Amino acid sequence: MTSKTLFEPYTLGSLTLSNRIVMAPLTRNRAGPGFVPGDLAAEYYGQRASAGLLISEATQISQQGQGYQDTPGIYSQAQIDGWRKVTNAVHTKGGRIFLQLWHVGRVSHVDLQEHGAAPVAPSAIRAATKTFVNNGFVEVSEPRALALDELAGIVNDFRQAAANAIEAGFDGVEIHGANGYLLDQFAKDGANVRTDAYGGSVENRARLMLDVTAAVVEEIGAERTGIRISPISPANGVSSGAPQAQFDYIVDQLDALGIVYVHVVEGATGGPRDVAPFDFGSLRRRFNNTYIANNGYDLDLAASQLADGKADLFAFGRPFIANPDLVERLRTRAPLAEFNPATLYGGGSAGYTDYPAIAASSHP
């Protein structure tokens, strides 16, 4: 047991965070033309800058990497310039923010791909999931398997996106290796039946995730590189026959690369924590830098896990939507507001930037 608290400063690499509470990535589908984050995004993130660390919504590294309508990118100059407004807003309020780098792989639709092309995947296996396109949820499209000689280009897209994020003023990046998207698809044998150097063994299926991480570290430094993983989440139709062996190996290699954190979805994304047997403590013991715990945390569970040394930082997702001042509400044990499900995805300021802080909401 320790006497640490969630509300004390924390050192993350070369950064000092004001507390141990992380705002998890939250897809809100509000990018403007050219998939550029606009002034509303700057207001939204600025409102939530009291989190110790903000992790941006998932942001595609290329048009091929997009899987949902109106999600932002980080591959054009206009997108870089749009994100700079966001980072300025956060930094002006003393916050810290990482950009989450995203390639959805097979979780996409032909209407989002250039020239109506098929989405890409480790293997030509359609995901049992839906995506949000043309203002509604529809079944994802049939993917094609990536050729071996295409993988270096995807690694380079992640590398360039990381450089673009730093140009936009982010404090670092989080590689999205979770929730059934491309890197997770490669890692899990339910989606990857390749027989080349990127399929088959634990080592081979981890290769693309580790290649990407090594390239990002080389580009921007290990102290500015984190990654999100979800070893047992069935999100977007992925499955793994031996997740413990797979992710023990992955975390060993991530530790060797010296990245600043691993962000672990403990259980089913947005669902039960005990969806399948898994020893998350094994990942914690294998990784020498910061461990961010995610999934179903409230104040009491986070405080208990911190006291037991099971994690360093704790990510809260949907509570941040309706509670821009979530840190203060948790600190004072004030009631939490509920979000409006009808305004989660797409739209304008309603259900995005119009949730009041508690001081405002208690004084009409």
Q: How many CB atoms lie within 10 A of CB 38?
A: 17
Give the pairing of strands 136-139 and 130-133.
Answer: antiparallel
The number of helices, as runs of H, and strands, as runs of E, in the chain is 11, 14
Tell me the angle at which helices 77-92 and 39-47 cross, rounded to the nearest 10 degrees: 30
For 264-309, what is each residue's pLDDT tens digit? 999 999 988 988 999 999 999 999 999 999 999 999 999 999 999 9
pLDDT band at 361 (very low <50, low <70, confident <90, very high): low
Asked if residue 303 belongs to a domain, the reply is: no
Asked if residue 161 belongs to a domain, the reply is: yes
Asked if residue 166 belongs to a domain, the reply is: yes
The whole-angstrom separation of Cα 288 and Cα 96 is 22
For 49-66, what is each residue's pLDDT tens digit? 999 999 999 999 999 999
Residue 332 has phi, psi (to 5 degrees) of: -100, 0
pLDDT band at 364 (very low <50, low <70, confident <90, very high): very low
pLDDT at res. 4: 85
Residues of the chain by 3-state class (helix, strand, coil), percent to 5 = 35, 15, 45
> Is residue 1 pLDDT above 70, yes or no?
no
Asked if residue 170 belongs to a domain, the reply is: yes
Asked if residue 343 belongs to a domain, the reply is: no
55: β partners: 98
DSSP H helical segments within 131-201, as ranges? 151-167, 182-187
Residue 147 has, within 13 A of its CA and on its CB side, a CA count of 3
* pTM of the predicted structure, to 2 decimals: 0.97
The whole-angstrom separation of Cα 137 and Cα 131 is 5
The kind and range of the H/E element at 204 are helix 202-220
**Nearest alpha carbon to residue 212 among 176, 181, 246, 238:** 176
The whole-angstrom separation of Cα 171 and Cα 168 is 9
- The total of structural domains in the chain comes to 1
The whole-angstrom separation of Cα 314 and Cα 299 is 10
> Is residue 3 pLDDT above 70, yes or no?
no
Give the pairing of strands 313-316 and 144-145.
Answer: unpaired
Structural contact between residues 165 and 219, judged by C-beta atoms closer than 8 angstroms: no
Asked if residue 316 belongs to a domain, the reply is: no
Catalytic one of 10, 45, 68, 181? 181
Spatial neighbors of 103 by CB under 8 A, at least 6 apart, are: 60, 61, 62, 64, 65, 154, 157, 158, 176, 181, 182, 183
For 31-50, what is each residue's pLDDT tens digit? 999 999 999 999 999 999 99
CATH of the domain at 127: 3.20.20.70
Which three-class secondary structure state does DSSP give residue 339? coil
Asked if residue 226 belongs to a domain, the reply is: yes
Structural contact between residues 290 and 323, judged by C-beta atoms closer than 8 angstroms: no
Residue 297 among the catalytic residues: no
Asked if residue 298 belongs to a domain, the reply is: no
Can you give the residue range of the structural domain that contains 46? 10-289
Q: How many CB atoms lie within 10 A of CB 257?
A: 15
